[in-house]
Chains A and B, each alone.
Chain A
Amino acid sequence: EAGVAQSPRYKIIEKRQSVAFWCNPISGHATLYWYQQILGQGPKLLIQFQNNGVVDDSQLPKDRFSAERLKGVDSTLKIQPAKLEDSAVYLCASSLERGNNSPLHFGNGTRLTVT
């Protein structure tokens, strides 16, 4: 089966600019996650979708980050305006369902550098 697809692979922007990341999960996976992985740290959950509804966005900095999953398939994560501390790898993952017996499948991530 095809894996989780993310684009772009790399992005360099200046602070205060905007950026958007795209994720296409594995076909049929109802649950989609966005994680932020800062260099030297483990991934941190930003937002979780179940189909096209938000399940958990408690750690999403909502003053600058937004995400949507229209039609319950693809998802976009946007940062506006970006700060230096947003430099990180943004990982998208999907799973068949929410339970702990449904493993997460990760994309290769988008590496964002904010200068």
Chain B
Amino acid sequence: SQTIHQWPATLVQPVGSPLSLECTVEGTSNPNLYWYRQAAGRGLQLLFYSVGIGQISSEVPQNLSASRPQDRQFILSSKKLLLSDSGFYLCAWSGQGDTIYFGEGSWLTVV
């Protein structure tokens, strides 16, 4: 069966520090991969999605970037975090022509 792993689960980072959140999917090949963010008390915002290695679509211009160095690996990064980057970050995947499934999320607090 397919599983999705996302880490770290929680982190507290100072303003101006870099960020790296990693997500991997097991049990499938060539998945579509997604990064969403949920700010406190708000809905889910799509940040990036990828249909293949090196193919990244950005939905919202901001202080973040995404990369897909391997087929089942998706990384969310920032060079310098802002206070407004705090939130709940979710990685998700889907097969070709299939439903989207979410990981358990990463809580980021920028202080």
The answer on A and B forming one complex is: no
Interface residues of B (CB under 8 A from A): none
